[in-house]
Chain A
Amino acid sequence: MQSATFLKQIIGAIPWGISAGVVAGAALLPHAAGQAAAPDALVAGLAGNLIATAITAFCNQRCFTAEGDHEKLLANHDIRRIVTQSWQHAIHACLQTVPDQENYPHLASLKPDEIELQDLSLETITDTVAAARRGLLAEPGFDSTWPKEMAAWAAEQLQKVTKEHVSDAVVDHLAQHLVSQLCLYTAAQLKSDELARIAVAHFSQQKIEDAVARIDETITTLAQNGLKLSDAEFQRIEKLFAGQRDWFDQRIARENAPELDFPFADVRGTGAEFTFRRRKTILVGRDEALGALRRFLADDRPVLWTVVSGPAGTGKSRLAAELVAMVRSQNQDKAEPLGPLEWRSGFVNASRTWLEDSYESSRWHPDSDTLLVLDYAGDLAPKRLAEFLATVNPPPKLAGIVKVRLLLVDRTGPTEKLGLVERLNDGRCEARR
């Protein structure tokens, strides 16, 4: 099967079942707890996730117990070689299979045969995992034919995850680094995913919700039966894992957050004389418009979008930039991360691929008040933009507390022919306008 082959190419060489957690684990939720050996893609996937999480927690506890241990572990070249090869395989498979490599610049620039562990940056890992997932999702028949094959294969992989593997893994500092990064993604998948929807299609919502409720119980079973840890070891893992959950959640939210440009950034060069970014032209005659935008920010409704339109040179971007500057000045010099009632604001210009790629933007749940300016919004694919406007939300625990404001800048009036409202034509997003 093409899909299973692809999957194995990506993760087959990784011996710990961790990548099974990353990719197969996308199916993410068990329909019954504690059945690690059951030939079921969901159980196997979750097991991969949880083992990855457990290993990370275990590593955190054990890795740096003594300075001498650390040095000794670094010298373990054998583990390094295995991990290196795993990543070479994964990167190679992604480069051969994933169609839109331009969306993964850190991956595209790699030469898989020459990669060494020290070359793997967070960005590289991020791109590789994201590309692998993208490739998998694009596989024809993935949702119908893949689970059975994958179930058997993932179960087989799980059998390989023995105490010895864990013990070996624990000793390598670099491997631990990789695992912790991968865990961010596995934890992300525990929250929401395209594949979760596939899971929903295969199993009832109730079963999945039951399984989520029993995650801790599942960890217990896996840790005790799958890894055969001692009680003391297990208690440490449990404690660490519990302590890390919030941290995982926060990290995931930020990993998927857009990079925001401050529009009045430093611009030089001959070509910059008349750009709004220089803020050289006095701002007059726009009090009313700025007032309307302030009211837009202050509105009680949690998520709102609107459009600033006007022909070339009317100062649309400048106005949006002034609003961003005003919001930023309220935060003064406060460093990120910001919390509720603190505004994060900026232009989503340089990272528009973030918006166009639903993988990241659909997982972004802002945990502080947020003003996003989408300049040239009319150039974005209307369907994706409508979907984003309709679905962006703060995380559930901050619902009603955090505000999200999306300011779309476009030349054409929103209700004109080919204007944004006409193009978006989506009742769900319209309800937030």
Chain B
Amino acid sequence: MALALPVLPELDSLEVAKAWAGRERWDEAAHRVQQAMERDEQLRRPLFAAMLGDAISRGQEPGMLDAPTVAKIALERLLPKETASALEYDARILFALATAGQGVAEGDLLEEPTQQALLGRVYQRRDLTQLTDALRRLDPHHGQGLLVAPLEPDYLGELFVLRTLLDGAGQSLDKQVLAWMHLAWAKGKETSPFVARLAGDFLGRELQVAEALGERVEAVSQALAAILLTATDEESFVYVQPTTVAVLVDLSTKSSDRSLSGQILQSMQRLHAALGTPESALEQAKALYNATVVEPEAAVCYQWAQEIGLLRQQHNTAEIALAQAQALHNATVGEPEAAACYQWAQEIGLLRQQHNTAEIALAQARALHNATVGEPEAAACYQWAQEIGLLRQQHNTAEIALAQAQALNSATAGEPEAAVCYQRAQEIGLLRQQHNTAEIALEQARALWVAGHLAEQEGNRTERERLHGEICEFDRAVQMRLDEWLAPRGFRWEVC
């Protein structure tokens, strides 16, 4: 069981908004809120419904009624810019740093170099006490530990940090972000996840965020890019969690700034050039691999796989080899030409000669299976399925067995003879004897169905009935999935 929480049903999300708004103001706003929720599903998440209701309760019905706008209004209510004194404003800047760091020690926030870097001045004695008090008034968990806690919920905190950075930047946004984020990386408890969440929430929504904050979209994009890129610079890299860069590369493809993904990869290259360590090489390799996951162009994926190969020339580790193997496999996903796929599978084989791990073998098996998808010749497909079988002799895992079953199934696609198809289905059955998974069972059921279909075309209805009888012995779930597979092809399978 895993629980993926959906947005609330419309009536429930309206109820949340109404509870925050209060009955008095709700009646006149209800219709508009309902329309907005129909337009933007994000507003049906409980947090945004609550912030929307809160805005209405204060007579501040949001103009745009989208998620960033209601969050900005909530932020304005909690931390209004206009009414803050200079000292309160400075406390908020420190609080924003605590938010970016997901908790920063109070002592670290108030030390003189930090004050100088963020506030442009250093508070002394009585003023410092007042600044400390102002900071503590903001801290949601004050008195429960040494850290100043971040502004919660995360979304609001992320918007707060972005607003703070854009407010204070003037002409030198990149410089400001760099100085600021270096402090966050160095002093924050968990800056990595903050940066990853910021990317997840705001990339691709730069226009909405810019409109909500009253900023230019270019400025928002620039600030986001600058924040994310600090994860790959030399000074911060030591604090970055291993998966963060990979996550950022993945998320950066959503950005309205099409160059962001490339910028992160380039930044990783610079980082590796500066550090030249196996760790930085591995990070770069992972970033390149991750870029191939979302890249539809096979040729681009292959190019990135080759770049990983260059890294491997310097640091020939099993992990970097795995990244290269997986990148090559990803290249086969978008490649229609069977010959190219097969060649790349062979390249993975070369990697496996040096690092014969089950993971690399799996990448090769999957690449071989992908080669069979575009291959019209049944004999070639069958040969490649056998090559996967050779891999399985060394790494007999369920995943590789599945790739072999899929390849055997591909071999039935161009096969004119029912008997041969049945033989392939039996070979899949042998795999099932070792790895009895639902996926492999489905492959066998498909192969049996194709064999039955050919038998019917050959005029052998008895054989078709016998084969269908074999399919009837599969689990209901497998039969239902067989039906799902057949439906778009114009056939049906009645579950036995």
Q: Tell me the A residues contacting B by CB distance below 8 Å.
A: 265, 267-277, 280-282, 284-286, 289, 292-293, 295-296, 306-316, 318-319, 350, 376, 378-379, 381-382, 411, 413-415, 417-418, 421, 423, 433
CA distance A411 to B4 in the complex (A): 9
Which of B119-162 touch A at CB < 8 Å?
Answer: 136-142, 144-145, 149-156
Quick one: closest B residue to A316, CB to CB? B5
Identify the stretch in B8-16, B164-172, B433-441 within 8 Å (CB) of chain A at 4 or more residues.
B8-16
CB contacts (< 8 Å) of B487 on chain A: these are none
> Per DSSP, are chain A's interface residues mostly helix, strand or loop, or mixed?
loop
Which single member of B2, B78, B149, B193 contacts A273 (CB below 8 Å)?
A: B78
Q: Which of B364-406 contact A (CB under 8 A)?
A: none
- With A282-B15, A315-B46, A315-B47 known as contacts, the answer to whether A274 contacts B152 (CB < 8 A) is yes
Within 8 Å of chain A (Cβ to Cβ): is B45?
yes
Closest to A382 in B: B243
A268's partner among B47, B78, B142, B246 (CB-CB below 8 A) is B142
A311 in contact with B45 (CB, 8 Å): yes
User: How far does the Cβ of B142 sit from chain A's closest Cβ, in whole Å?
Assistant: 6
Q: How far is the CB of B489 from chain A (nearest CB, A)?
A: 26
- Other than the given A306-B3, A312-B201, A418-B250, 16 more pairs (CB < 8 A) read A270-B137, A270-B140, A274-B51, A275-B152, A309-B3, A309-B4, A309-B5, A310-B4, A312-B200, A313-B153, A376-B193, A379-B192, A379-B241, A411-B197, A414-B2, A423-B243
* Smallest CB separation, A209 vs chain B (Å): 32
Listed by A's residue number, 15 A-B pairs whose Cβ atoms lie within 8 Å are: A267-B140, A269-B141, A271-B138, A275-B140, A277-B140, A308-B5, A309-B2, A310-B6, A311-B45, A312-B200, A312-B201, A313-B45, A313-B155, A417-B293, A418-B243
- Which B residue sits closest to A289, measured CB to CB? B3
Check: B493 CB closer than 8 A to any chain A CB.
no
Q: Which of A268, A271, A307, A313 contacts B3 (CB 8 A)?
A: A307
Q: Distance (Å) between the CB of B254 and the closest chain A CB?
A: 13
Against A, the Cβ 8 Å flags (1 = close, 0 = not) of B226-260 are 00000000000000011100110010000000000
Are A271's CB and B192's CB within 8 A? no
Interface of B is mostly: helix
| Residue of A with least CB distance to B45 | A313
Contacts A268-B140, A271-B138; A314 near B7 (Cβ below 8 A): yes
Q: Return the chain B residue nearest A419 by Cβ.
A: B2
Q: Looking across the interface, which residue of chain A has its beta carbon closest to that of B143?
A: A268
When distances are taken between beta carbons in the complex, the residues of chain A under 8 Å from B2 are 306-309, 413-415, 421, 433
Which residues of the other chain, B, contact A295 by a CB distance below 8 angstroms?
Answer: 1
Taking the nearest CB of chain A, how far is it from the CB of B347, in angstroms? Answer: 23
Q: How far apart are A145's CB and chain B's nearest CB, in angstroms? A: 25
Provide the bound-state CA to CA distance between A32 and B212, in Å: 75
B89 at interface, CB cutoff 8 A: no
Interface residues of B in 393-433 (CB under 8 A from A): none
Q: Are A272 and B140 in contact (CB under 8 A)?
A: yes
CB distance from A299 to the nearest CB of B (A): 9
The answer to whether B139 and A274 have CB atoms under 8 Å apart is no
User: A274–B74 contact, CB under 8 A?
Assistant: yes
Cβ–Cβ < 8 Å partners of B16 in chain A: 281-282, 284
Report if B482 contacts A (CB, 8 A): no
| B20 and A281 within 8 A (CB) | yes
Which residues of B have CB within 8 Å of A413?
2, 4
Docked Cα-Cα span, A40 to B297, in Å, equals: 63
Q: Give the Cβ gap from A301 to chain B, nearest Cβ, in Å.
A: 11
The reply to whether A418 and B247 form a contact with Cβ atoms under 8 Å apart is: yes
For residue A379, which residues in chain B have a CB less than 8 angstroms away from its CB? 190, 192-193, 196, 241
CB pair A312 B153 closer than 8 Å = yes
Q: Are B140 and A271 in contact (CB under 8 A)?
A: yes
**CA gap between A313 and B6 in the complex, in Å:** 11
CB-based contact B247/A270 at 8 Å: no
- Cα A381 to Cα B192 in complex, Å, equals 12
B residues whose Cβ falls under 8 Å from a Cβ of A: 1-9, 12-13, 15-16, 19-20, 42, 45-48, 50-51, 54, 67, 74, 77-79, 95, 99, 136-142, 144-145, 149-156, 190, 192-193, 196-197, 200-201, 241-243, 246-247, 250, 293
User: Roughly how many angstroms separate A285 CA and B42 CA in the complex, as a whole number?
Assistant: 15
CA distance A310 to B137 in the complex (A): 31
Chain B contacts for A423, CB-based, 8 A: 243
A260 to B149, CA, bound (A): 18
Asked whether, in the complex, the Cβ of B141 is within 8 Å of the Cβ of A313, the reply is no
Q: How far is the CB of A424 from chain B (nearest CB, A)?
A: 12
Give the complex CA separation of A289 and B7 in angstroms.
12
Residues of chain B lying within 8 A (CB to CB) of residue A306? 1-3
CA–CA, A289 and B241, complex, Å = 31
* Pick from A274, A282, A286: contact of B153, CB under 8 Å: A274
B7 lies within 8 A of A312 (CB): no
- Chain B residues within 8 Å of A296, by CB: 1
Say which residue of A267, A280, A315 sits within 8 Å of B5 (CB atoms): A315
A275 / chain B contacts, CB cutoff of 8 Å: 140, 152-153
**Are B45 and A292 interface neighbours, CB within 8 A?**
no
A308 and B3 contacting across the interface, CB-CB below 8 Å: yes
Residues in B whose Cβ lies below 8 Å from that of A277: 140, 152
Residues on B with beta carbons closer than 8 Å to the beta carbon of A274: 47, 50-51, 54, 74, 152-153, 156
Assembly CA distance A309 to B3 (angstroms): 6
* Residues of chain A lying within 8 A (CB to CB) of residue B67: 313
User: Is there an interface contact between B155 and A314, defined as CB atoms closer than 8 Å?
Assistant: no
Residues of chain B contacted by A315 (CB below 8 angstroms): 5, 45-47
Q: Give min CB distance, B291 to chain A, whole Å.
A: 12
Q: Is A271 within 8 A of B9, CB to CB?
A: no
Of the candidates A281, A293, A307, the one having the most CB atoms from chain B within 10 angstroms of its own CB is A281
Query: In the bound complex, how far is the Cα of B138 from the Cα of A204, in angstroms?
Result: 60
- The answer on a CB contact under 8 Å between B197 and A292 is no
Find out whether the CB atom of A313 lies under 8 angstroms from the CB atom of B246. Answer: no
Expressed in whole angstroms, the Cα–Cα distance for A306 and B137 within the complex equals 37
Task: Name which residue of chain A comes closest to B160, CB basis.
Answer: A271
Contacts of A309 in B (CB 8 A): 2-5
Task: State how many angstroms separate the Cβ of A123 from the closest Cβ of chain B.
Answer: 14
The answer on a CB contact under 8 Å between A312 and B197 is yes
Q: Is the CB of A270 within 8 A of B138?
A: yes
Which residues from chain B contact A417 at a C-beta distance below 8 Å? 250, 293
Most chain A Cβ neighbours within 10 Å, of B51, B141, B243? B141
CB distance from B241 to the nearest CB of A (A): 7
Which residues on B sit within 8 Å (CB–CB) of A415? Answer: 2
A271 touches B151 (CB 8 A): yes
Chain B contacts for A273, CB-based, 8 A: 74, 77-78
| A contact residues around B247 at 8 Å (CB) | 418
Distance of A292 Cα from B6 Cα, bound (Å) = 14
Q: Which residues of B contact A286 (CB under 8 A)?
A: 5
Q: Determine the distance from Cα of A306 to Cα of B4 in the docked complex, in whole angstroms.
A: 11
- B contact residues around A285 at 8 Å (CB): 8-9, 12-13
Inter-subunit contact A271/B250 (CB<8 Å): no
B138 contacts across to A, CB distance below 8 A: 269-271
Cα–Cα, bound, A313→B200 (Å) = 13
* Complex interface: chain A residues within 8 A of B20 (CB): 281
Q: How far is the CA of A293 from the CA of B1 in the complex (A)?
A: 9
Q: Which of B6, B154, B242 contacts A312 (CB 8 A)?
A: B154
Please indicate which of the listed interface residues B51, B241, B243 has the most CB atoms of chain A within 10 Å of its own CB: B243
Shortest C-beta distance, B430 to chain A (Å), equals 22
List the 7 closest A-B pairs by CB distance, nearest first: A313-B47, A285-B12, A310-B5, A272-B140, A275-B152, A313-B45, A379-B193
Contact B46 A318 (CB under 8 A): yes
Are B153 and A269 neighbours in the complex by a CB distance under 8 Å?
no
